[in-house]
């Protein structure tokens, strides 16, 4: 009985210690100002592996992420809003960009269990190796000591895994971060309906590509990609009011034996073509624009 | 015997008596000037008679009227119909060419999509648009 009591007390103390450790990591994250370079590897079951090289400048949850490879792209998250960086301007993004590292912090701060902790060295720096389980994923993290900066994070989730590996990271003064932010002009104008509907299509297609064509002063954006059923869809998207008829365009595809459907959302016209059956296309459209 | 002037005056006014007429005939045989006068007078009289007494036949009338009508019609063609026709031809050409370029445009636009539909979509960021950041958002965002 005494042994059982002692074990319970130990478990309780361990639990309190773990919970306090998570709290420390979360609160430390919110106050860290860092600059670093990381490699992000996304692996999805049955899909190709995606690798990104990113430069990070972060102040708590506010950050500027510059993807340097494979395709240059810069975005930022400031005040829980996502911006796309164009030169020295930041424009509101039509979609939220998720940084898995921040998802980890938010996820473990809610309901999570520390499976194991151990002390190790990461890139020569004494670190805490934690394995934490939440409802959504299992996290393996290397937390540098004593700064509690995340040096490495692996997320194993239902569909695959994401690995974030900092090859260098350092704490920087807040004034440096603020000076960088002040150089940007933040445009809070909401994204256009064209951007919003294009994003809806892009977000639901794999291996997606966007092409813009312009014929006789008519601008058409063509989005193509694969649906979750591995069927190719091509969508013609253009601003309504242009000298282009959706019925004429639809007729072109129907005459060639393809399934085509035109829809209008606000001031955006779309013609979608596929080899799928019309009912399947309709179903997919409803799913995308619900 | 009368003088040339007297004969000519009476001749013109048809006042010569029978005797005077015979005398004037004899006079004409010897007077070249009076012969020329009589000849000219008769020619002029014939011309005047033609002007005052001529009535065109119906055939000639129709011919003249149709000729006039034809001339007017030709004038109208040159003044109105020809430019109108030219405008119509140009208009038709423009409309037809507009239709045909429109058809070509739709076909061109359609072909780009059909090409994409028949090919395997790229497995990495592959865009040719100033909106390609939408694709980059997708690749930059961690999905799970």
Q: Express each pLDDT in A78-108 by its tens digit.
A: 998 999 999 999 999 999 999 999 999 988 8
Distance CA A224, CA B132 (A): 12
Q: Does A52 touch chain B (CB under 8 A)?
A: yes
Return the residue of B nearest to A217 by Cα: B105
Are both A22 and A157 inside the same structural domain? yes
Distance CA A169, CA A30 (A): 16
The per-residue pLDDT for B93 is 57
- The domain that contains A41 carries what CATH number? 2.50.20.10
Q: Which two tokens stand for residue A154?
A: 């692996």
Are both A170 and A222 inside the same structural domain? no
Distance CA A177, CA A197 (A): 34
Reported in sequence order, the residue ranges of chain A that DSSP labels E, i.e. its strands, are: 33-44, 50-59, 62-69, 73-78, 81-86, 89-92, 112-122, 125-134, 137-144, 150-157, 160-171, 185-187, 206-215, 218-226, 232-239, 259-265, 268-274
The arithmetic mean of pLDDT across residues B40-57, rounded, is: 72
Contact B127 A209 (CB under 8 A): yes
Are both A174 and A43 inside the same structural domain? yes
Q: Which chain A residues are closer than 8 Å to B139 by Cβ?
A: 50, 52, 71, 73
Q: Which chain B residues are closer than 8 Å to A162 by Cβ?
A: 142, 144
Distance CA A259, CA A280 (A): 10
Q: In which domain, by residue range, is A246 found?
A: 193-288
Q: Which chain B residues are closer than 8 Å to A218 by Cβ?
A: 105
- Structural domains counted in chain A: 2
The arithmetic mean of pLDDT across residues A239-257, rounded, is: 85
- Residue ending a domain, choose from A155, A170, A187: A187
Percent over 90 (pLDDT), chain B? 5
Q: Which residues of B touch A (CB under 8 A)?
A: 101-102, 105-110, 112-114, 116-117, 120-144
- Residue ending a domain, choose from A138, A169, A187: A187
Are both A133 and A13 inside the same structural domain? yes
Please name which of A78, A75, A25 lies closest in space to residue A54, comparing C-alpha atoms: A75
The model's pTM: 0.69
Are both A182 and A197 inside the same structural domain? no
- Residue ending a domain, choose from A187, A218, A234: A187
Least confident of A41-55, A168-182, A197-211: A41-55
Return the residue of A nearest to B103 by Cα: A248
Are both A177 and A119 inside the same structural domain? yes
- The domain that contains A248 carries what CATH number? 3.30.200
């Amino acid at each position: 009985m005494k042994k059982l009591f002692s074990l319970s007390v130990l478990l309780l103390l361990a639990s309190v210690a773990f919970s306090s450790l998570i709290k420390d990591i979360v609160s430390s994250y919110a106050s860290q100002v860092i600059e670093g370079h990381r490699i992000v590897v996304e692996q999805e079951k049955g899909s190709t592996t995606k690798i990104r090289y990113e430069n990070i400048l972060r102040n708590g949850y506010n950050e500027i992420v510059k993807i340097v490879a494979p395709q240059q792209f810069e975005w930022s998250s400031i005040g829980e809003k996502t911006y796309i960086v164009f030169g020295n301007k930041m424009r509101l993004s039509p979609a939220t960009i998720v940084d898995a590292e921040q998802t980890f912090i938010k996820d473990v701060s809610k309901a999570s269990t520390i499976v194991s902790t151990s002390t190790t060295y990461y890139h020569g720096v004494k670190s805490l190796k934690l394995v934490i389980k939440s409802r959504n994923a299992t996290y393996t993290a290397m937390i540098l000591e004593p700064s509690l900066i995340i040096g490495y994070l692996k997320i194993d989730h239902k569909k695959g895994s994401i690995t974030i590996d900092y090859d260098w990271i350092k704490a920087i003064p807040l004034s440096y971060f603020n000076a960088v932010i002040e150089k940007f002009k933040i445009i809070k104008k909401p994204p256009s309906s064209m951007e919003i509907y294009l994003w809806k299509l892009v977000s639901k297609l794999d291996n997606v590509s966007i092409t813009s064509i312009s014929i006789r002063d008519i601008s058409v954006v063509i989005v193509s990609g694969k649906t979750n059923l591995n069927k190719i869809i091509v969508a013609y998207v253009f601003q309504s009011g242009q000298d282009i008829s959706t019925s004429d365009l639809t007729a072109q595809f129907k005459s060639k034996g393809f399934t085509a459907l035109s829809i209008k959302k606000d001031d955006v016209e779309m013609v979608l073509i596929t080899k799928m059956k019309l009912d399947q296309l309709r179903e997919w459209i409803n799913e995308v624009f619900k | 015997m009368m003088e040339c002037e007297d004969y000519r005056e009476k001749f013109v006014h048809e006042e010569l008596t029978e005797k005077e007429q015979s005398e004037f005939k004899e006079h004409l045989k010897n007077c070249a000037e009076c012969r020329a006068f009589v000849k000219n007078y008769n020619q002029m009289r014939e011309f005047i008679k033609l002007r005052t007494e001529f009535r065109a036949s119906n055939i000639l009338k129709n011919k003249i009227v149709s000729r006039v009508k034809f001339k007017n019609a030709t004038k109208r063609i040159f003044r109105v119909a020809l430019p109108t026709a030219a405008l119509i031809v140009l208009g038709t050409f423009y409309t037809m060419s507009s239709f045909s370029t429109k058809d070509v445009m739709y076909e061109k636009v359609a072909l780009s999509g059909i090409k994409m539909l028949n090919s395997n979509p790229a497995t990495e960021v592959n865009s040719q648009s100033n909106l390609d950041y939408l694709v980059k958002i997708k690749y930059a965002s961690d999905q799970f």
